Amino acid sequence: MLAWKRGRRVLVCVTGGIAAYKIPDLVSRLRKLDCEVEVVLTEAAEALVSPLALSTLSGRRTWRQGDFLSASLGFEIPHISLAKWAEVVVVAPCTADTAFGIAHGRADSIVEAATLATRAPVVLFPAMNSGMLDNPATQRNLTALRDAGIRVVDPDFGRLACGGEGKGRLPDSDVIMEEIFLALSPHKDMAGKHVLVTAGPTWEFIDPVRFISNPSSGKMGIAMARTAWYRGAEARVVLGPGGGEQRQRGCTHGLEIVNVVSAVQMRDAVMSSLSWSDYVVKAAAVGDYRVKEMASRKIKREGCSEMTVELVQNPDIAAEVGAAKRPGQVIIGFAAETHDAVSHAKEKMRRKNLDAIVVNDVSVPGAGFGCDTNAVRIIFADSREGEAEAEAEAEAKEITASGDKEDVADAVWGTSMVAMVAFSSRAAP
């Protein structure tokens, strides 16, 4: 996990929506990351979630509406002290009334006053009946909040407390956590950039029930996309099949997912997004071959002791992307190798006109498919002409990174060489 996610100061403001029952879980998760958590409740929220439970989980006093101007605690001016203390303010769930109050500068409650007073980023999660949410008055208030620089996260669709279904549910804690991380991210150097990432395996079917594939989980590609999103980019992921863990809402929140199965489908999805992309990250483990002719029915084993399958090459997506690369566009490849990793990776980078390549030896424990960790060497293409200049820069252009896949992904984006390559990227030959 990225180090900056730990030990942060989070002010959680809870208003009077039934979804307040989810907040103890959020507080617990934040505490597991050694975050300091202060919780503030509106008067209505006190009837829906236990202040004692929240205090037990946070290890701190839970601030209530009665503390706002009380004789015993009002002198502490809690709405100001909390507003100054917080690194991020989360309003969850946010009722229609509180959204109105913050949008119009009302400060009748400790939640509204603290939100108005803070200079920290504010992330607001409206949660209410879908009719209330869709009301033009509510939508005007949410628009006003966005215009004021507050991040308003759309509620989920699902079963509501009233018994009906619709948009209005408070997202689960994993989504709220991702939004907190987005607000706290120390780097926004990719704001306005479009990042296209391929992730996961491809399936090349032999018959309707069998396919050729590999053990890729898609974790590294998702990590590349998510860390780019933290840095301010819009991220689109062309995601191969399988990898159920990577398809959970928390893993893919904030990312645009394009689902594909085969290498041909992945190639088409990538090429159709190429003009949109400032960065293309080829992290998928694409099958090199597919069956020349897929059987229309399940192949039976009876009476067949041996079987020969004729294969043909799949499109070389990275090579097509490299050939079509426009000036200023950055192409980052990945290479999973078992021997002579660096030399093979450098040859792949040269042959496919890549700007950088991330290579790992999948035979090394903790660096193979399906792992939560990785150990890689990041190699950058020469950006200057001339043998002497290239030799002088050789060391700077090879960087090692290891640890959690999210840490490795952030190391790729954080390398200053990526920015240099972005300005000096070679045009396709």
Residues noted as catalytic: 162
Burial 227-262 (b: 16+ CB within 10 A, else e): bbbbbebbbbbbbbbbbeebbeeebbbbbebbebbb
Cβ 367 vs Cβ 361: under 8 Å:
yes
Distances (CA, A) of 332 to 267, 345, 381: 16, 12, 10
C-beta of residue 195 within 8 angstroms of C-beta of residue 100: no
Cα 401 to Cα 8, 75, 220, 358, 387, distances in angstroms: 25, 50, 13, 10, 27
**At residue 84, what is the residue type?**
K
Dist. CA 226–CA 283, nearest whole Å: 13
- How far apart are the C-alpha atoms of 194 and 263, rounded to whole Å? 22
Q: How far apart are CA 101 and CA 79, in angstroms?
A: 15
Please say whether the beta carbons of 111 and 91 come within 8 A: yes
Quickly list DSSP for 178-223. HHHHHHH-S--TTTT-EEEEEESB--EEEETTEEE-----SHHHHH
Rounded CA-CA distance 198/190 in Å is: 18
- Taking only Cα atoms into account, the Rg of the chain, rounded to an integer number of angstroms, comes to 25
